[in-house]
Amino acid sequence: MMSEIDTDSMVSFLHRDDVEKRVSKMIQEGKTRFALDFSEIYDHDPDVATTLITNHKDLGWVRDCLVDALVRVRCPEESLERWKAVLCNLPHTTHLRKLDTHHIGHLTQVSGIVVSTSDVQPFLLQARFICIVCDREHLIPQREEKLKWPGKCDCDGRKFTLNEEKSDWVNSQVIQLQELPEELPPGQIPRQLTVRLLDDLVDTVRAGDRSLIVGIVRLRPPRRSGRLYDYIMEAEHIQTMEAQDVEVTEEDLKKILELGARDDLEELLIDSLAPTIYGHREIKRSILYLLIGGVSLDEVDVKIRGNIHVLLCGDPGTAKSQMLTVTSRVSTRGLLTAGKTSTNAGLTATVQKDTSGRFVLEAGAMVLADKGVLLIDEIDKMTNEDREAIHFPMEGGTVPVAKGGIVATLNARTSILAAANPKYGRYNPYSTVAENINLPVTILSRFDLIWILKDTPNVTEDGILARHILNIHQKNGLGVRPPVPQPLLKKYLAYASKIQPKLTREAVTHLENFFVEMRAVVAEGAAVPISARNLESGIRLSQARARIHLRDEVTLEDATQAVALMHMSLSQVGIDATTGQFDVDMILTGKPKSLNDKLNALLQIVRAKSREEAIPEEDVVSFTLAQGWGRSETIKLLGVLMKDGVLYSPRPGVYKAVQPIQ
Ligand SMILES: [Zn+2]
C-alpha cells in the first residue's frame, strides 16, 4: 500500500517547474498521456520509483497528483478525465526471447522492430448494455480480451443489446514487434510480440521503426476452445529508438587514426573482411565500399542515394553465399535473407487481411534493414510482387504502399549485397548477364557493381585454393587471423562512414570523362541511351573510398580507383563476347550490340522475303551464307527471333515475319 509520504513525494516531484511547462505544451498539442521518466523519479526518490513499477495498476494516485499540477496550469476541467500517467525509461528491458508467464500482468519494457501495423479500429472500453425486457441500462467496464456481458438483470431478464452509441470507444491498432535483427541469435527464427496501441498511441509508429515499448503483458484467449493463450502487450508508452551506433572510445579513435594513416590500409581492411575466403579481392573491395557507402543527397528537388548495391552472380560452389554471411557479421546492421523469403511481406512490403479480418501492413526485409545492409541470397528467386516493387526502394530509399485503405511510405535506405545463381545451372560466358540470371535488366542496372564468379578449372589457382582450404581446416579456422580484428574493423567502418567528403575539381573531371567515354561507346546506334546512373555510381564509389581513407575530400586517386573498379565489373558483364568490345548495351538491353545488329539484319531479310509467302529455312541460309554467316549460326539466330516473337513458323521449316501494324 502507498503511504502518505510517498504521495507527498510525488506531489513535490510534480511541483517542479519543468513538469508544469511540459503539461502546458501537452495541452497545446492535444496530448494526454503524461510520461514519468523512471530514472528522474528514482533520482528524486528511489522508494517511490521502485514502488511505481510493482504497483503500476495503481498509478491512479499519481494521476491525482498530476491533476493537481494540471489545475495549477489551468487545464480545461472537462479534459482532466482523459489524462493518464504512464512510466517510461524503465531500468530493465526484457528481451522478447525471455518473455514468459512471470511477466503476465506486470509492467514490462521491451525493445524491437515494428514489422507490421494494422489499420485503426474502434476498441470497446466501457459497454452500455440494455435489457431487452425492462430497458434498464447496465454499464460494464471491459478489462478482459473477451467482451463481458451483464449476468442477470434486476427483472430476471438475461438478454441484452449493446448500445454502441452510448458505450465508450477508443481508437485501437495492433502492431507486431520483432526481435532486432542484430540481437537475433544466428540461425534462429525471430520472436514476435503482439502489441495493442490505444488512443493517442495509435499511428505513432510505422513498420520498420525500432521501438522501446513499456506496457502490461496480458493474455489473449484462444480463438476457438483450448488452453493455449497468446501474449499481448497493452502499450503504455512508446519511444522510437535510433539505431544503436557503435561506440568509439578515445582509445579506439587513436587506433582508428593510426590504421587510417597506413599506406596499406585498404588492402589490410580487405584482408580482414573475409579471411577464410580465398582471393576475390575486387569483390571484397566492392563489399568494403558497400559497407561504407557514399554520401546521400536528400533535398526537395534532388534525391541521390548514397547506398551502394552489389550483385554477385555465379556458379554453385563458388564463394557467393559465404561472402554474404561474412558481410552480415561485419556490418553493424546486417540482415540476411533469401530472395524467396519466408514472410508474406517479401523484400518490400505487403498489405493483407489478418485472421480477424483487419488490414495489416507488413514490412519486408528492405524496410527492416533500413540504414543497414540487406544480404539477399538467391535474389533471382524473389516473388513477382517484389520484382515489380523493388526498383523504387533500390533507387529512392522508400517503399510506397497504397492498398486496402492503407497508405504509407516506409523507409528503406538499405544497401543490398545480393547473390544469384545462373538460370541454367552454370554461367554461360557466350550469353549475356540478363540471359544468365533470371532478373530483368531494369533491376540489374540498379546495381552499382556486378561480379561474375566462374568455377573454371585453373591448375595454379586451384593449387593455391586447395592449400588455403586445407590450411583453414588444419587450424580449425582459428589460424586465419584477420590483420584487423573484427571489433576494430566494425568501429573503423562506423567512424569512417560518418565523414562527408566533398568532390574535388580533379575528381569531378575524371568521373565526367568516364561518363562521356561510356556514352560515346554506347551512342553508336544504341537503342537505349546510357543514363546518368553510371556517373552516380562512380561518385558513390569514390566517396566511399575517400571515407575509407578518412579524408573529407574526394581526390583524383579516389575517382581513378572507383572508375577502375567499375571498368573491371563492366568488362566482366558487358564485354561483347563476339567482338571483344566493351558494350554497355548488354546490361541495358540484355543483348550485345553485335548480336542485336545481326538479329536486326536477319529480321530485315526474312521480313522482306516473306511478305507474300513464308520463306523456307534453306533460302534464309543461302542469303546469309552470302554475307559470310555460318549455317548453324543462322539457324540459332532464327531461333532467337522466334523466341523474341518477331518471327513465326506457319509450318515446320518455313518462316514468316510478324508484320508491323500499319
Ligand atoms: Zn431487465
Q: 211-226, pLDDT tens digit by residue?
A: 999 999 998 887 777 7
* Three-state DSSP state, 104: strand
553-554 and 398-403 as β-strands: parallel, antiparallel, unpaired? unpaired
Distance from the alpha carbon of residue 168 to the mean position of ligand 1, in angstroms: 21
Distance from the alpha carbon of residue 62 to the mean position of ligand 1, in angstroms: 38
* Least confident piece of the model among 95-109, 179-193, 389-403: 179-193
* Least confident piece of the model among 105-109, 167-171, 473-477, 510-514: 473-477
Distance from the alpha carbon of residue 128 to the mean position of ligand 1, in angstroms: 13
Residue 470 has pLDDT above 70, yes or no: no
Which pairs count as long-range contacts for 179-187, CB under 8 Å and 24+ apart, including other chains?
A: 179/95, 179/96, 179/97, 179/112, 179/113, 180/111, 180/112, 180/113, 180/210, 181/113, 181/333, 181/334, 181/335, 181/368, 181/369, 181/372, 182/244, 182/332, 182/333, 182/334, 183/95
> Alpha carbon 321 to chain centroid distance?
19
Residue 460 has pLDDT above 60, yes or no: no
Mean pLDDT of the 409-423 span: 91
Residue 238 has pLDDT above 90, yes or no: yes
| Rounded CA separation 534/413 (Å) | 19
Mean pLDDT of the 94-113 span: 91
Distance from the alpha carbon of residue 256 to the mean position of ligand 1, in angstroms: 79
Torsion of CA 21, 27, 29, 35, to 10 degrees: 70
Q: Exposed, middle or buried by CB within 10 Å (0-12, 13-18, 19+), for 300?
A: exposed
Distance from the alpha carbon of residue 224 to the mean position of ligand 1, in angstroms: 31
Distance from the alpha carbon of residue 140 to the mean position of ligand 1, in angstroms: 15
* Least confident piece of the model among 274-288, 397-411, 416-430, 509-523: 509-523
* Least confident piece of the model among 71-80, 142-151, 280-289, 396-405: 71-80
Q: What is the pLDDT of residue 466?
A: 67
Phi and psi at residue 436, to the nearest 5°: -75, -35
168-178 and 107-118 as β-strands: parallel, antiparallel, unpaired? antiparallel
Average per-residue pLDDT for the chain:
83
Distance from the alpha carbon of residue 136 to the mean position of ligand 1, in angstroms: 5
pLDDT per position as a tens digit, 599-644: 888 888 888 888 888 999 999 999 888 888 888 888 888 988 887 6
Residues shown for the chain: 662
Q: How far apart are the first and last CA of the chain?
A: 90
HEC readout, 476-507: CCCCCCCCCCHHHHHHHHHHHCCCCCEECHHH
pLDDT per position as a tens digit, 265-282: 999 999 998 887 878 899
| Rounded CA separation 558/217 (Å) | 54
Distance from the alpha carbon of residue 157 to the mean position of ligand 1, in angstroms: 5
* Least confident piece of the model among 75-84, 411-420, 491-500, 628-637: 75-84
Distance from the alpha carbon of residue 147 to the mean position of ligand 1, in angstroms: 19
Distance from the alpha carbon of residue 164 to the mean position of ligand 1, in angstroms: 18
**CA dihedral sign of residues 243, 248, 253, 255:** negative
Reported confidence tier of residue 558, pLDDT bands at 50, 70, 90: very high
| Rounded CA separation 117/211 (Å) | 13
Q: Please give the grid coordinates belonging to residue 360.
A: 495489416
More confident call, 131 vs 79: 131
Distance from the alpha carbon of residue 141 to the mean position of ligand 1, in angstroms: 19
Distance from the alpha carbon of residue 125 to the mean position of ligand 1, in angstroms: 23
Strand residue runs (E) in 477-611? 502-503, 553-554
Torsion of CA 614, 617, 623, 627, to 10 degrees: 140
Q: Please give the grid coordinates belonging to residue 48.
A: 517511490
| Rounded CA separation 569/344 (Å) | 34
Residue 5 has pLDDT above 50, yes or no: no
Residue 391 has pLDDT above 50, yes or no: yes
Distance from the alpha carbon of residue 132 to the mean position of ligand 1, in angstroms: 7
More confident call, 522 vs 337: 337
Cell match 567482338: residue? Answer: 579
Distance from the alpha carbon of residue 220 to the mean position of ligand 1, in angstroms: 31
| Rounded CA separation 504/482 (Å) | 34
Distance from the alpha carbon of residue 528 to the mean position of ligand 1, in angstroms: 79
* Three-state DSSP state, 533: helix
Distance from the alpha carbon of residue 607 to the mean position of ligand 1, in angstroms: 89
Reported confidence tier of residue 592, pLDDT bands at 50, 70, 90: low
β partners of residue 449: 310
Q: Please give the grid coordinates belonging to residue 607.
A: 521480313
Numbers of helices and strands, H then E, in the chain: 23, 26
Q: What is the pLDDT of residue 574?
A: 65
* Least confident piece of the model among 2-11, 224-233, 332-341: 2-11
Mean pLDDT of the 424-448 span: 78
Distance from the alpha carbon of residue 154 to the mean position of ligand 1, in angstroms: 6
Distance from the alpha carbon of residue 506 to the mean position of ligand 1, in angstroms: 89
Distance from the alpha carbon of residue 144 to the mean position of ligand 1, in angstroms: 24
Q: What is the pLDDT of residue 429?
A: 62
Reported confidence tier of residue 426, pLDDT bands at 50, 70, 90: confident
Q: Please give the grid coordinates belonging to residue 468.
A: 588455403
Distance from the alpha carbon of residue 163 to the mean position of ligand 1, in angstroms: 14
Cell match 460494464: residue? Answer: 140
State the amino acid at position 335 in one-letter form: L
Q: Please give the grid coordinates belonging to residue 344.
A: 508474406
| Rounded CA separation 291/493 (Å) | 7
Mean pLDDT of the 255-261 span: 93
pLDDT per position as a tens digit, 495-550: 999 999 999 999 999 998 888 877 666 555 443 334 677 888 999 999 999 999 99
| Rounded CA separation 120/197 (Å) | 10
Distance from the alpha carbon of residue 169 to the mean position of ligand 1, in angstroms: 24
Look at the pTM and tell me if it is higher than 0.85: no
**CA dihedral sign of residues 119, 120, 122, 125:** positive
* Three-state DSSP state, 189: coil
